């Protein structure tokens, strides 16, 4: 970070648990003085993560919000701007796994999967990216999944949503690459997180959330001359 530069404002959605919480803690620990805007629906869990990050040296703010709701995201942008100013790093991590096949997925569940995993990413990006474009500087990380690269049976709506994340990220990269805004999509495989609770898959077959978070830090620290467009992370023993 250049001398005298203010520490970055980093917004993380889905920050109340799992990978999102690990990403927030990683930025708090690794970027001195980081200003963290932490977003999720669960206010109680979000506050606990904010306290952890504050103990690691970050300046934190908790912003409870349903990021699939257009009006709520508009309010979120105003609240974050009022507290911290413009966002430098946007981590679109919010999402939810819904497991069912094509014929067993209800229309309501399909819509929920698209809203939580894809619509939310679009809304939050639309709210915070314009300031990055105006300043000609910023970083956007989108949380994909290996299910957005190859289809898996029994997860039709989730796969469709994550393939949508892949496509939207590519569109963002094409539109923002000459505007100083780097866009990266991270595709994790099975990771120890609440999404896998009750799956019966042993933790040793999955990646630690902290390892996924470390990838974000590594990409962010590269010079502005370099963009990592995609990161694919899989358990060493292979997909589960």
The pLDDT tens digits of the residues spanning 67-99 come to 999 999 999 999 999 999 999 999 999 999 988
Query: CA-based angle 96:205:200, to the nearest 5?
Result: 65
The pLDDT tens digits of the residues spanning 123-175 come to 999 999 999 999 999 999 999 999 999 998 999 999 999 999 999 999 999 99
Burial of 238: CB neighbours in 10 Å, binned 0-12, 13-18, 19+: exposed
Does the residue 125 lie in any domain? Answer: yes
Classified as helix, coil or strand, 227 is coil
Does the residue 2 lie in any domain? Answer: no
Does the residue 198 lie in any domain? Answer: yes
Query: Structural domain of residue 79, as residue ranges?
Result: 9-233
- Look up residue 107 and give its two tokens: 């229309």
Does the residue 4 lie in any domain? Answer: no
Q: Give the CA distances from residue 155 to residues 31, 108, 113, 122, 141, in Å, rounded to whole numbers and listed in that order.
A: 36, 15, 10, 21, 23
Whole-model pTM? 0.95
What pLDDT was estimated at residue 1?
Answer: 47
Place of tokens 């103990």: 55
177: phi > 0 → left, psi -120 to 50 → alpha, else beta; which? alpha
Average pLDDT of span 192-221: 91
Domain with residue 172: its CATH number is 3.40.50.720
Does the residue 240 lie in any domain? Answer: no
Does the residue 63 lie in any domain? Answer: yes
Does the residue 238 lie in any domain? Answer: no
CB atoms within 10 A of CB 122: 18
Classified as helix, coil or strand, 203 is helix
What pLDDT was estimated at residue 141?
Answer: 98
Rounded Cα–Cα distance for residues 24 and 16 (Å): 9
Does the residue 3 lie in any domain? Answer: no
What pLDDT was estimated at residue 4?
Answer: 53
Strand partners, 61: 37
How many domains does the structure of the chain reveal? 1
């Amino acid at each position: 970070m250049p001398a005298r530069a203010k520490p970055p404002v980093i917004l993380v959605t889905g920050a109340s648990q799992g990978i999102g919480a690990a990403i927030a803690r990683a930025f708090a620990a690794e970027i001195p003085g980081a200003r963290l805007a932490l977003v999720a629906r669960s206010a109680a869990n979000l506050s606990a993560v904010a306290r952890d990050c504050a103990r690691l040296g970050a300046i934190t703010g908790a912003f409870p919000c349903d990021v699939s709701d257009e009006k709520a995201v508009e309010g979120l942008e105003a609240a974050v701007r009022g507290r911290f100013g413009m966002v430098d790093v946007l981590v679109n991590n919010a999402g939810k796994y819904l497991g069912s096949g094509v014929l067993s997925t209800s229309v309501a569940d399909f819509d929920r999967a698209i809203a939580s995993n894809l619509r939310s990413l679009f809304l939050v990006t639309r709210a915070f990216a314009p300031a990055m474009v105006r300043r000609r500087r910023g970083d956007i990380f989108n949380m994909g999944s290996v299910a957005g690269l190859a289809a898996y049976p029994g997860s039709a709506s989730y796969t469709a949503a994550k393939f949508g994340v892949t496509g939207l990220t590519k569109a963002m990269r094409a539109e923002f690459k000459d505007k100083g805004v780097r866009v990266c999509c991270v595709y994790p495989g099975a990771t120890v997180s609440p999404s896998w609770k009750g799956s019966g898959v042993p933790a040793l077959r999955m990646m630690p959330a902290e390892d996924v978070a470390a990838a974000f830090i590594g990409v962010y620290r590269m010079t502005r001359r370099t963009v990592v467009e995609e990161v694919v992370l899989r358990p060493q023993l292979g997909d589960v």
